[in-house]
Structure 1
């Protein structure tokens, strides 16, 4: 197998392992076994455990940041929010572990892997913060902004976790599901029928 294809295979398997178990608990031996290579070959290709994780994060982060950045051109804060989710779903199609490796809380500090993941977090969070500011408008307080940004991050993370448990849904399915849920949340509750006496 050519080196480039072998590296991509190792990155696929490493992303799944790191995504499932986190940096601290992932096994390079298991990654090597699944790839049908030796651990020394992984070190030859990536230099270290940290180098392998950094390569996984870079691949995941590039596609996510690019997808979210494209969505920022959509006019209207609410349409932009849905476009952002849709972009994230397409970037994570069949790779929901990518979100987990970017936001892995077990990454050692300082390390190249942490620095790389943190750079992507900052880029994604900055775009999220700008979107939240557009939704809230000028009348909001910094605390309002902080709360809504936390909600937004929680919604995105929870939705991705739900999708991971429902892998049969396509990115389009997920976007449609989110649109239905958002629409239902925005509608006033139906008035109860008066009780007949």
Structure 2
């Protein structure tokens, strides 16, 4: 067994990068459950097996830790979505690819989705700016699929594409939210369910 495998979270000698990941992992769970406003750094520190001052030493502030959580969670999700969009064509059925990417990316810590749409997060400042940027990137990926779908049918207008993107984003959020309420459902089962629902709608 490796040294890192037997080392408890609260012991000394943990490499900084590993310690930061432990704190971020605990913070994602805390912020997803309580939201930014009610999120407690004391609970984060306890969950990570460290002292609260160490959280401040590594991340500077609550905002700094929340930003680290956003970058860690949403950055990876967007990378998977961008790859999935390469497999999307102008059919509705092909939208299963980005859905599969979302569920696969969130499977290890599905509650992280809530960070991207946290109503208690600051509406100004760095957190607001980063959240808006990530939301815009997510919507941009969805918009490219909407535009392609409408152009293939000769019905494209900017407003129609915008409306269809809003519908798609709402659908994705609803599906992920439903999934969060059914924690026993693995990602693979959720993807299969989405395929069945898409097939039902198409037929």
Give yes or no for contact 1:64–1:88 (8 Å, CA) kept in 2: yes
Distance in 2 (alpha carbons) for counterparts of 1:6 and 1:19: 20
- CA–CA distance in 1 between the matches of 2:109 and 2:47? 17
Match of residue 140 from structure 2? 126
Pairwise CA distance, 1:85: 0.4
Equivalent residue, structure 1, for 2:165: 149
Please name the residue that 2:28 is paired with: 15
2:107 alignment counterpart = 93
CA contact (8 A) 1:163 1:169 kept: yes
Structure label with greater radius of gyration: 1
Which of these residues, 157, 177, 189, is aligned with residue 173 of structure 1?
189
Contact 1:60 / 1:98 at 8 angstroms: preserved in 2? yes
Q: How many residues align?
A: 187
Given the alignment, which residue of 69, 73, 88 partners 1:60? Answer: 73
Query: Structure 1 residue 113 and structure 2 residue 127: aligned?
Result: yes
TM-superposed deviation, 1:11 = 0.7
Deviates more, 1:78-87 or 1:38-47: 78-87
Shift of 1:75: 4.4
Instruction: Give yes or no for contact 2:99–2:172 (8 Å, CA) kept in 1.
Output: yes
In the TM superposition, residue 112 of structure 1 has moved relative to its aligned partner by 1.8
1:39 counterpart residue number = 52
Aligned to 1:182: 198
Tell me, in whole angstroms, the C-alpha distance in 1 between the residues paired with 2:143 and 2:89: 15
SS at match of 1:11: helix
Question: What's the Cα RMSD here?
Answer: 1.6
What are the ranges of 5 or more consecutive residues in structure 2 without an aligned counterpart?
1-13
Q: What per-residue deviation string (whole Å, max 9, x for no partner) do you get for residues 48-75 of structure 1?
A: 1000000000011111110110011114
Distance 2:19 2:180 in 1: 26
1:114-170 Cα offsets, whole Å, 9 max, x none, are: 222221111111011111111222413333223221211111111111111222222
- Compute the TM-score of the two structures, normalised by the length of structure 1: 0.88
Q: Is the 8 A contact 1:32 1:39 kept in 2?
A: yes
Instruction: Please give the alpha-carbon distance, in whole angstroms, between the structure 2 residues aligned to 1:36 and 1:7.
Output: 12
Structure 1 match to 2:174: 158
Farther-moved stretch of structure 1 (146-155 vs 126-135): 146-155
Question: In the TM superposition, what is the alpha-carbon distance from 1:28 to its structure 2 partner?
Answer: 1.1
Assess, with a 3 A threshold, how the Cα gap between structure 1 residues 167 and 102 changes in structure 2: closer, same or farther. Answer: same
What's the TM-score once normalised by structure 2's chain length?
Answer: 0.86
Which has the larger displacement, 160-169 or 63-72?
A: 160-169
